[in-house]
Chain A
Amino acid sequence: MIRLRIHLLIAMIGLCFVVLLSRLFYLQILSGADYVDEAFSRIQRSIPIDPLRGAILDRHGEVLARNEPGFDLMVIPARVTPESRARVLQRMDIEEKDFELGMDEVRKVISREVRREIRYRYRERTLSVQKRVSRRLERQLRGRSWLLFPDLDNELFRKEIFIDKDQFPGFEIRARPIRRYPAGSTLCHVIGSMSKIFKEEYEKFRDRGYFLNDLIGRGGLEGLHEELLKGHRGLRVVERDSRGVIQKHLFYEPPADGHDLRLSIDLGIQQCSENALDEGLADARRRAQRLGTTPPGGGSVVVLSVPDGHVLAIASSPRFGISERRRRYTEMLEDPLHPLIHRPVGGYRVPPPGSVFKILTGIAGLETGKIDKLSTYHCRGYMHRPGVFKCLGRHGDISLIRAIEKSCNVYFYHLGEELGPTVLSSWARAAGFGERTGIDLPGELAGLVPDPAWKKEVYGKTWFPADSRYLAIGQGALETTPLQVARFMVAVASDGRLPIPKLVHDSVPETGLRLAMRPENLRLIRESMFRVVESGTARRSGLSSVRAAGKTGSAELGGGQETHAWFAGYAPVDNPKVAFAVLLENSGHGGDVAAPVAAKILRGIRDKFAGWK
């Protein structure tokens, strides 16, 4: 009896042990592998380490773009107290409503997160479950840290929050690298900008090692040299304990920082060019207001180094602060001056070169033997009939040198007719017009060199002698970018070299094309260009004092628009260092408007070059 009862007790204990062992069997043998994974996932963490993005520097190492530490003001909505809120308002010196605007943004982001989570995980649950979960989720998210004001510049406030955390419950500072552009709007079109990778395009970037919301360079050099600048992410795998404290480093691959990009640009020359251009346009705007004529458009300056074809300055106006690009984007899209357009390489409409092109027509005439130093045409102020194919003055019998000096249209009407469109357009192409220069910048346009075949194809009409006359003086359908014009000036200033302009300093120089000219013809052309400055259309510009040579241009656009003011040339005359092109859209005559801008630039930069006094 007793024995039976004891045995029953033993059986009961045995049964308990069997239950324990079966559960152990289930945990350790049947689902052991899952728990091993689970244990590992708790312990091991892969931490990516961001590389430092390379800087963009000018040729002397001046910083154009660089990553610097920035500090964001973060908010934890659930923990904000009225006191801390008031304190932040006071320290940041902002209005209540500006602060609330920021908080609204945070709330929006939170509710967006909540909606996404509901869509993602609770789509098939009932509405009441969804409601309950979203309330809980929102409460949870309000306890996290959200970006309130990016890039705090108030250093004192920043430090105060760091040091005196208790004074600012619900607020904290997050440090992160911010791309800064210390030169402001300088070179804004060339440098490009950084923006996030969006969800829609993430697929495309994932294989290249990007994460969602990574910043990526877009447009300009930031985009073009993304691979070089960005560097490679490092990786650290660590073992962490239950509190998340790192206990062991299992693997470490250091990040490879991005390479710096050194440009051929000289920041001094660039800024000098931009300032002169902006001032020139401002003057033109004041003049237009006074006279009630059409206001000027934008403008371009290109300064190339004659010996090697490097781009020393490439200025466009108007500009924008690179860090403001995103904020002002829509506004800028609607701006009639199109500040987003990079004009020196084309812009939204490639302009005609106007009389600057007469240099090329002259070269073509000399090289084909249609004219020589002494041959003349007769100018009566018009070509055949008064009022049609006019000239700026009555030049009488005029030779090439005087024709360039005074910018005589009639001379070049005759020459253009004699050369014919095929010869002239082929010379234009030989000088690099009508196709891209190949500068290392995205968005360059080719311009247009018209010829009979082109006119037939596009308009279905035959080429008239009038078309040749217009082409000869750089009007009609002809379109050239300031960069092409400046490069053509390199050819004139050197012995016909047409280098491929480069922005990156250390890029392998490419020889490019060569415009073959006889030395005596070249001398003649240079002589005439010097006369332009000494006693010709640009004599009042002060260019002779910096020993420049060049050619003015006033490109007619029709429709009652003010002419585009051009000046292109090189300096100093006896040993050219720089070639340049200046264009002020709809601003008047080249000699009155563009040449003074060129003079101002050259005065500002000549100290930088040895042997140019």
Chain B
Amino acid sequence: MKLDRLDWFFLILVFLILTVGVVDIWSASYQINQGSYASYPMKQLFWISFSGAIFVGLLFIPYLKFYQRAYFLYACGIALLILTIVIGKTVNGSRRWIALGPFSMQTSEVMKILIVIALARYLKDRPRLDRWQDLLPALGITFLPMIIILRQPDLGTAMLFIPILFAMLLAAGARVSHLILLIVIGINCLPVGYFFLKPYQKARLRTFISLGDLSASQRMGEAYQAYQSQIGVGSGGMLGKGWGKGTQNRLNFVPERHNDFIFSVHCEEFGFLGAMILLGLYFLLFLSGLSSASSSREMFGRLVIVGTITMMAMQVCINVGMTIGIFPITGLTLPLVSYGGSSMVTTFIGLSLIMGVKMRKSMIRSVLA
């Protein structure tokens, strides 16, 4: 591996976003009742180092190995998901975690990457996607884990798979008419799907639909989290209240503030300017990833990049969207910023795959072409 093949611009963007994350988590870890800071920032640094090691380790594996073992990995992932349903740890009414000694792993996080790899393999193997029948296995690969994850239940993660599938089909050259048909069917499934939701999911959805027109009791009840988060964001103004000075944050009004709602803390303390900078960094990161996808000639690598970037981009949109009240509340984290090991590891695996493709563009061409 040669260092000069590394995309330094890409790495610097990742580093900057991680820094913003640690800074925000530091502020969000203030425990008003103890008057001290929780150990989240240090733990986050550990997870970053741990994930960084995986990132570097994976760079040494030629990504064609993933191509070869795509279905095997996918099967392992499905097994893990089923295991989670059976022996998983119940947190807040859903089984998403498997205990691994002192840590716990959110299996659906890993599954996201495995789906991307499996889909990439399938779509690469079938260069012509003219017929409906060619799309069906791709749908199957996506929907099988999605259904299991919905059973956990984890609506947010499951919903993430659809844009991933869509983006990868788009990049793989599926017919536009098929894609549009998929969208139409998907949209028509939404109202039907509502009846399969759990009550709390329905409540969140109702909250989301009516947020502009909330009664006082709703603001204290089901919409409390969303509304508190909005107050935090809104009261940040242009420049924010300053690092560690967000009252919604420090007085514990914003729920899950070091985790799902970290963006609310960021907006409250650094204002609209801070939000623009963070979203700008993300956009540059996605741009940088997708630009190498478009310049890559090799389909598997390209699809892996598209899938991973779409996954991250959708996570950013959904997470920020729920923080500012334009999306229902889900458990999706803000990649690279939210506190948490599973999400960090998954994101780094994705980044590592992207970097691997970036580094091996020329090499692969000579091998495969």
Q: Is the CB of A13 within 8 A of B231?
A: no
User: CB-defined interface of B258-295 with A at 8 Å, one 1/0 digit per residue?
Assistant: 00000000010001100110010011001100100110
**Among A17, A23, A40, A240, contact of B324 (Cβ-Cβ < 8 Å):** A23
CB distance from A183 to the nearest CB of B (A): 49
**Among B271, B283, B294, contact of A3 (Cβ-Cβ < 8 Å):** B294
> How many residue pairs, one in A and one in B, have C-beta atoms under 8 Å apart?
124
Residues on B with beta carbons closer than 8 Å to the beta carbon of A8: 170
Residues on B with beta carbons closer than 8 Å to the beta carbon of A177: none
CB distance from A393 to the nearest CB of B (A): 87
- Interface size (B, Cβ < 8 Å)? 45
CB distance from B322 to the nearest CB of A (A): 11
Q: Is the CB of B293 within 8 A of A6?
A: yes
Q: Is the CB of B286 within 8 A of A20?
A: no
**Helix, strand, loop or mixed for chain B's interface?**
helix
User: CB-defined interface of A6-17 with B at 8 Å, one 1/0 digit per residue?
Assistant: 111110011011
Contacts of B279-317 to chain A: CB distance below 8 A: 279, 282-283, 286-287, 290, 293-294, 302, 306, 309-310, 313, 317
Measured as residues with beta carbon below 8 angstroms from the partner, the interface class of chain A is: 35 or more
What are 19 A-B contacts defined by CB distance under 8 Å? A5-B171, A6-B171, A6-B290, A9-B170, A9-B306, A10-B290, A13-B286, A13-B309, A17-B279, A17-B317, A20-B324, A21-B275, A27-B324, A27-B325, A28-B233, A29-B238, A42-B248, A239-B251, A241-B33
Residues on A with beta carbons closer than 8 Å to the beta carbon of B272: 24-25, 28-29
Which residues on B are within 8 Å of A, measured CB to CB? 32-33, 167, 170-171, 173, 228, 230-238, 247-248, 251-253, 267, 271-272, 275-276, 279, 282-283, 286-287, 290, 293-294, 302, 306, 309-310, 313, 317, 320-321, 324-326
**Among B33, B233, B283, contact of A245 (Cβ-Cβ < 8 Å):** B33
| Chain B residue at minimum C-beta to C-beta distance from A25 | B272
**Besides A9-B290, A13-B309, 4 other CB < 8 A contacts?**
A8-B170, A9-B171, A13-B313, A27-B234
Contact A42-B253, Cβ < 8 Å, known A8-B170, A19-B326, A23-B326: yes
Q: Is the CB of A35 within 8 A of B234?
A: yes
**Helix, strand, loop or mixed for chain A's interface?**
helix
Which of B228, B233, B251, B321 lies at the interface centre, i.e. has the most chain A CB atoms within 10 A of its CB?
Answer: B251
Q: Is the CB of A28 within 8 A of B32?
A: no
A38 at the interface (CB under 8 A from B): yes
Residues on A with beta carbons closer than 8 Å to the beta carbon of B238: 28-29, 32
Q: Is the CB of A7 within 8 A of B294?
A: yes
Q: Is the CB of A20 within 8 A of B267?
A: no
| Chain B residue at minimum C-beta to C-beta distance from A42 | B253
Q: Is the CB of B306 within 8 A of A242?
A: no
Contact A35-B306, Cβ < 8 Å, known A6-B171, A13-B286: no
**Among A14, A28, A43, A242, contact of B275 (Cβ-Cβ < 8 Å):** A28
CB distance from B247 to the nearest CB of A (A): 5
CA distance A160 to B147 in the complex (A): 56
Residues on A with beta carbons closer than 8 Å to the beta carbon of B252: 241-243
Q: Is the CB of B235 within 8 A of A38?
A: yes
Residues on A with beta carbons closer than 8 Å to the beta carbon of B271: 28
A31 at the interface (CB under 8 A from B): yes
